[in-house]
Chain A
Amino acid sequence: MSVLAEAWRYLAAHPAQFMTALGVHVALSGAALLIAAAIAIPAGIYAAHRPGTAFATINVANVGRTLPSLAVLALVMPLLGTGFAPSLFALSLLALPPIVLNTLAGMRGIDPEVVDAARGMGMTRREILWRIEWPLALPVIFAGLRTAAIQVISGAVLAAFIGGGGLGDFITAGIAMMAVPQLLVGAIPVTLLSLGADFAFGALQRRITPPGLRGA
């Protein structure tokens, strides 16, 4: 337990450094998630109604999903250098597969009879998308965002290796110098951040599920 006390003392002695690292970490994770969502969700919706495109997208995304996070971060370095921007690029790439796969699954999982009824009643393509497909696919899409968020927060720790900053800096420095308190100043907060984000997304997911679909 004295290790924890030492870690706390280290944190108290370096408040600015910690807050910066925390801020960078949250910024990196948040921005990567937003960028990936802005690309993957529209792409998924577009591909959902085009079987050939959907097939290709699913296969590419499945391959993308298997790539080790650190490998992707490392591959970006010789191309784009080190720092915040290359890290953001790599993390956005890593977040794309779960979001696009879930968007596709959500859209294609909608009962075709429901869409047929909507079309038969005289809804335009756009009205069908906004009033019927989007609300029904949203819970699954959101689950994809949740998965991606956890992945991105974990990946942002690794961004420390390519100069991206974030809480990973404390961990890597702590390991390199075998200084456990310093290491904990990075490891514990980022774990809490990840658990907190998962909890928050879970609560949000329950709230955005349309009442007609809950407990179905």
Chain B
Amino acid sequence: MIEIEHLTKRFPGAATPAVDDISLAIGAGEICVLIGPSGCGKTTTMRMINRMIEPDAGLIRIAGRDVTHVDPVELRRSVGYVIQQVGLFPHMTIAQNVATVPQLLGWEPARIERRVDELLARVDMDPARYRDRYPRELSGGQKQRVGVARALAADPPVMLMDEPFGALDPITRASLQDEFLRLLYALKKTIVFVTHDIDEALKMGTRIAILRAGRVVRFDRPEAILAHPGDPFVAAFVGADRALKRLALLPVASHMRQGDAASDSPAVSRDGDLRDALSILLAAGAEAGVVVDAAGEAAGIITLADIRSALAAPPAAND
């Protein structure tokens, strides 16, 4: 869906290029996370896709079409754009903000209004309550929901997101990440997502591109990176606790077994992940725990041995 080939950018006066011959192929419906230390070129790369920064060399293709030299304004109207500080227009109502790109594209007013209400509802902001409010009346989390709605308004196939949840407190951030993942799976957009937070990358990405000094060091699925970092930089970047991070990606439901546990076994939620399960078992000093479903009914057991073998197995084909 998105192909970037040999993209390069050097800023005037800089000793080395900010982006040095980067090539990535991102499939439709994927969430590709760009991550790396400060100055690695992740934001610059993302901003070259919608030509907010013009590449010095290289090619960008979206849906097979070469967009490297087309009119950038037209390109941006077909790409969703979400930034960390949101950038809502303070002098416009929420509805007017969300309606921006459809208006630029010349949609009829009735269609725009329907679309605005539909999107506000999708991001969990009751249209009746919020459409006529102003940005300054909203909290940080609400502003970013509107920011996402605004980016989705013209139904672009591709979205660029630059640390969209970075300015929010951890609780709001976690909840918005979950909501956004649900939204994206429903809408099947192709996303390029920049972050500096490895946990966010592991949670959100279908594939992660780790950048360093303007180059892609590794581009792979999260479980593969965690299982086989491949080099010291990636290993250090994902953290020494990568085995635990891997467990966090594995659901209890996929690794539990049938059986009964001792009556004093601790309870492990079926909707949780193996890292939570490990933590519960260790804290209780138990070898096994009883898996309970949402209603509290026993559904099976999970043992330390199960958890260990989950780590030993090669990363699953798909998630």
- Residues of chain A at the chain B interface (Cβ within 8 Å): 111, 113-124, 127, 132, 135-136, 210-213, 216
A213/B91 contact (C-beta < 8 A), A120-B50, A120-B83 known: yes
The digit string for B171-200, where 1 denotes a CB below 8 A from any CB of A, is: 000000000000000000000000000000
> Quick one: which of B90, B91, B101, B135 contacts A121, CB cutoff 8 A?
B101
Residues in B whose Cβ lies below 8 Å from that of A123: 73, 100, 104
10 interchain residue pairs of minimum CB distance: A117-B87, A122-B77, A122-B76, A120-B81, A210-B91, A212-B134, A113-B85, A113-B87, A212-B91, A114-B87
Q: Shortest CB–CB separation between residue A138 and chain B, in angstroms?
A: 9
Q: Which chain B residues (50-108) contact chain A, with CB distance < 8 Å?
A: 50, 52, 73-79, 81, 83, 85-93, 100-101, 104
Q: Which chain B residues (129-169) contact chain A, with CB distance < 8 Å?
A: 134-136, 147, 150-151, 160
Residue in B50, B91, B104 whose Cβ sees the most chain A Cβ within 10 Å: B91
Query: What CA separation (Å) do A115 and B151 show in the bound complex?
Result: 15
> Quick one: which of A116, A122, A124, A216 contacts B90, CB cutoff 8 A?
A216
Residues in A whose Cβ lies below 8 Å from that of B136: 212, 216
A212 and B92: CB pair below 8 A?
yes
Query: What CA separation (Å) do A115 and B83 show in the bound complex?
Result: 11
A127 and B81: CB pair below 8 A?
no
Residues in B whose Cβ lies below 8 Å from that of A132: 89
B104 and A114: CB pair below 8 A?
no
Query: What CA separation (Å) do A116 and B160 show in the bound complex?
Result: 13
Residues in B whose Cβ lies below 8 Å from that of A124: 73
A118/B89 contact (C-beta < 8 A), A123-B73, A123-B104 known: yes
Query: What CA separation (Å) do A127 and B81 show in the bound complex?
Result: 17
> Quick one: which of A117, A122, A210, A211 contacts B74, CB cutoff 8 A?
A122
A113 and B91: CB pair below 8 A?
no
B134 and A122: CB pair below 8 A?
no
Other contacts beyond A122-B73, A210-B90: 19, CB < 8 A: A111-B85, A111-B87, A113-B85, A113-B86, A114-B87, A114-B89, A115-B87, A116-B52, A117-B81, A117-B83, A117-B86, A121-B81, A122-B74, A123-B73, A210-B91, A211-B134, A212-B90, A212-B136, A213-B91
Query: What CA separation (Å) do A117 and B97 show in the bound complex?
Result: 11
Q: Which residue of A is nearest B137, CB measured? A: A212
Query: What CA separation (Å) do A113 and B88 show in the bound complex?
Result: 8
Query: What CA separation (Å) do A194 and B215 show in the bound complex?
Result: 65
Q: Which residue of A is nearest B75, CB measured? A: A122
A120 and B74: CB pair below 8 A?
no
A136 and B76: CB pair below 8 A?
no
